Amino acid sequence: MAPDPSLVAGRIIASHGRHYTVEMVGGATRQCFPRGKKSGPAVGDLVLIRPQGDSEGVIESIQARRNLLYRSDDMRTKQFAANVDQLLLVVAVEPAFSPDLVGRALVAAHSADIAPLIILNKADIADGLDKAQGRVHALSSAYQPPIPVLLTNALDTQATTQALLPHLRGKCSLLLGQSGMGKSSLLNALVPQAQAATQEHSIALDAGRHTTTSTRLYHLPGGDGTLIDSPGFQNFGLFHLSPGDIERGFPEFAQRAAHCRFYNCTHRREPGCGVLAAVQEGSIQPERHELYLRILAENEAQERY
């Protein structure tokens, strides 16, 4: 079929509930709505829109995605972003981050085939840095090769830019983190216009509706690379993953799982389980195995509904 000449290509750069900001070649933007009730567009999606009036449009189609990072809890799925090159997981020296949530985000990234990078922020807080580094190392070293860890002090704009920009050039990176880790501070250090853009939007949607701006894509200064900011999260359900996906999210199990007595071993309490033996010996971290068991149990409980 010949392409419809009235459609225009663009990329979704922000989602606010049911409407989306689409950026077209040249940088102009339009506020767009998906056709019909189907939900599904995500920030980072490449779309075709049918322009309406001067500033609006209808999203007619979404191009096949390279990947999509999302979480799914009871009854509800939250798409973070599509077509991303890497995940920047922000943790901090304080408040203490949750290895459970970070572990889940890593499993989600692994199954979406997105390379993660951990940012340990507030590294200027000397008291507690060693301990935080130890906790981060435990997570990063579960993967082979270990997940790269970068230390930042988001309050120092210049140092932050120097530490992070080389890793962001030419890529689309997704910033993810629990509330309070300093994600907004990092974003503002990297993209000076970000603060203004956020404020502008909350004014555009009239006062008090800040919460509707959920996820947004920014161009890095110099135009080489993009950064997607998403709201902090408190839960990270993985209901969309199969038991096999979950197991693959714990790549440190693989070698030992090859020695399980049963080919379909779930590494819970089966006799002759290589993974359980490794946990016993200390070569697989008990916390990682416990996280694996929690995710499996949650997903099974969900299926019983």
Ligand X SMILES: Nc1nc2c(ncn2[C@@H]2O[C@H](COP(=O)(O)OP(=O)(O)OP(=O)(O)O)[C@@H](O)[C@H]2O)c(=O)[nH]1
For binding to ligand X (CB under 6 A), which residues are involved? Answer: 121-122, 124-125, 153-155, 177, 179-185, 232
| Nearer Cβ to ligand X (59/175) | 175
Question: Is 265 within any annotated ligand binding site?
Answer: yes
The contact mask relative to Zn ion for 249-278 (x = CB under 5 A, - = no) is -----------x----x-x-----x-x---
List the single partner that 125 binds among Zn ion, ligand X, none, CB under 5 to 8 Å by kind: ligand X
**In angstroms, what is the minimal distance from the CB of 69 to ligand X?**
17
CB 90 within 8 A of CB 105: no
Question: Is 172 within any annotated ligand binding site?
Answer: no
| Nearer Cβ to ligand X (183/267) | 183
Contacts of residue 157, Cβ cutoff 8 Å, sequence gap at least 6: 188, 189
Structure tokens at 260: 């399980």
Q: For 169-189, b where at least 16 C-beta lie within 10 A, e where not — what string?
A: eeebbbbbbbeebbbbbbbbb
| Nearer Cβ to Zn ion (37/269) | 269
**In angstroms, what is the minimal distance from the CB of 171 to ligand X?**
21
| Nearer Cβ to ligand X (210/261) | 210
* The residue type at 213: T
CA angle, 302 then 82 then 228, to 5°:
110
Question: Is 267 within any annotated ligand binding site?
Answer: yes
**In angstroms, what is the minimal distance from the CB of 37 to ligand X?**
30
| H/E element, 144 | none
| Nearer Cβ to ligand X (106/181) | 181
In sequence order, what DSSP letters do the residues of 37-97 get, joined into one string?
T-----TT-EEEEEEETTTEEEEEEEPPPS-EEEEEETTEEEEEEES-SEEEEEEESSSPP
Question: Is 37 within any annotated ligand binding site?
Answer: no
Question: Is 153 within any annotated ligand binding site?
Answer: no
Question: Is 123 within any annotated ligand binding site?
Answer: yes
CA distances (Å), 163 to each of 119, 140, 178, in order?
A: 10, 18, 21
**In angstroms, what is the minimal distance from the CB of 142 to Zn ion?**
17
Known binding-site positions for GTP: 121-124, 177-185
Binding-site annotation, residues for Zn(2+): 260, 265, 267, 273
| Chain contacts with Zn ion (rule: CB under 5 A) | 260, 265, 267, 273, 275
